[in-house]
Structure 1
Amino acid sequence: MSLTQWLTILGLVFGGCCANVSALESLVKGKPNMGSILTFCQFGFIAVEGYIQHFSISHPKRLFIKPTHIPVYRWMCSVVLFFFVSILNNSVWQYDISVPFHIIFRSSATGITMIIGYMFGKRYTKKQILSTVMLTVGCIVVTLSNANTADPTGETVDKGDFYLGIIILALACVLMSLLGLHNEYLFRTYGNHWREGFFYSHFLSVPLALFILPTLHKEWKVIWDLSVEDIAVGNYFKLPFLDTKLNKNFGWLTFNCVTQYFCVRGVNMLAGSTTALTLNIVLMIRKFVSLLLSMYFFGNRLTFDGYVGSIMVLVGATMYSYASMKK
């Protein structure tokens, strides 16, 4: 790749993804119960962009969408899994799960993937197993350090919500592993048509929102309406040249959706231009940068045990990537 291509991709990955995480944290800090509307808006934005890319005037019977390389019915399993994974991941903010912990926990999900892969006949090298053990131990250390952190006010804190959040995150990791194995089978059978899968996993997930329509309506009102409390604390901004006030949470939600697109575009450009090892290492560095930004801008802190566990997760993930490429 040329220097210009590298700068473009790294700008999208680090700029888009880190800005996306910052927008997410700004939103969930004030409104932690916004997981469903956040997922729906992200899906809707990417589905519209993907529809423009796949639009074909020659296929009116297919809703003006180009023919697929992989049969649509084959995507249905991916769509359902992806929808529930996204809903679960965006629902944990109401259970005392911080953004740094969310990043670390999801980075250490390799152990779950390995166990499920083994059940489906995949085999792993000793280095892969060793790195996964390091990942898992690191994640346990971080989890225990978060669970034992005292409340700044000195009051006793009920950790039931925190442990429930961990269970939800673990379930999301299991479903994500199944999703990865299913997509791996599809790409091995029909070819690596990731752009098509990216579009259909979002486009076909939008109708599933009908099952959570009451929740979406309630969360949208909280996002859009300006409460007396929002006005009192200045949680709004004025549109230029218009005498209109908008809830800042609506702005963060919009910014999150836009940066999500740039983030995913950068990751897929990198995936198509480099090796899997380079991709994994760049993404691991990106997660580490997001972790540092979250701690700097939002005041999140880890205990000494938390830092040790985080380093174990990062080193273990890098080792796993290298061992997988050697295999």
Structure 2
Amino acid sequence: MHAFHYDRAADIAQALRLGAQPGAKYIGGGTNLLDLYKSGIERPLRLVDVSRLPLAGIDVLPDGGLRIGAMASNTAAANHPLVRERYPLLAEALLAGASTQLRNMATVGGNLLQRTRCYYFTDPALGPCNKRTPGAGCAARDGYNRIHAILGASETCIAVHPSDMAVALCALDAVIQVRSESGERAIGITDFHRLPGDAPQQDTTLAPGELIVAIDLPPSPFAAHSHYLKVRDRASYAFALVSVAAALDLQDGKVREARIALGGVAHKPWRAASAEAELRGQAPTDDVLRQAAQRALEGAQGFRHNAFKIELAQRAIVRTLRLAGASA
């Protein structure tokens, strides 16, 4: 058994001090980190328990947006009246993720930090993985890659980010608030997760010792017309082959503004900005939706077992936009 120190932080200042030590990891619900520890993928020297810090509140911001504390459970966030009323897209995505028991334990801060579910990353016996051991190689490229990336992949990694919540946050232009002993900073959701490049072991742009304290959602015009669609192999507790978070601001039958984000297709939630631009100013007819879906998948590259995901993603985008346009 790998030995480590365990500390339960009494306050944020103590958490930041302990989290700044070499080899330290923060732990909240532990639904992902403990699994990776048991399989030997994560080997922290110190676990800093932040589960009792006062970071679980959900509050209205001065600009009318919403701040969700990092320690709020996925269940609490999904069922909060203001989330359901103002950001139903986020509530849908949260409820699509995992099982009820896991949602009760998992925190929204931890959800952002989930590591990939690539077979080769989580099971060292299957082959080498650059994310697990930098420079070892990527067994997924020539192996069984049905669940892997079709956008933004690199020679070193074709894994995908597993979060449903993060896809909705990407469409909602969320901002992640973090703290460290050096101070505070805000990170836009599209800048929070990384594409693999030549350093796939780095999932996010967090600096060592930084602690997620909250997720800020700006005021949204999309509550009336949004939808989250998750395409998976089974309806209960499965990660997405493809997911789509779509939101429309409609006026006089035309799209004034659109948001589209994809999950299950890249190393990070994938914002389809070109597809959004295709929709602006247009009536959301089937032809327009199909053109937008094609734009969203420009540059996609399939591998031996996952090329089907390109057409699947296009079809999922069209369906999600139709449902978003018809909602409310």
Quick check: TM above 0.5? no
TM-score, normalised relative to structure 1: 0.23
The structure that is helix-richer by fraction is 1
Greater radius of gyration (CA): 1
| Structure holding more strand per residue | 2
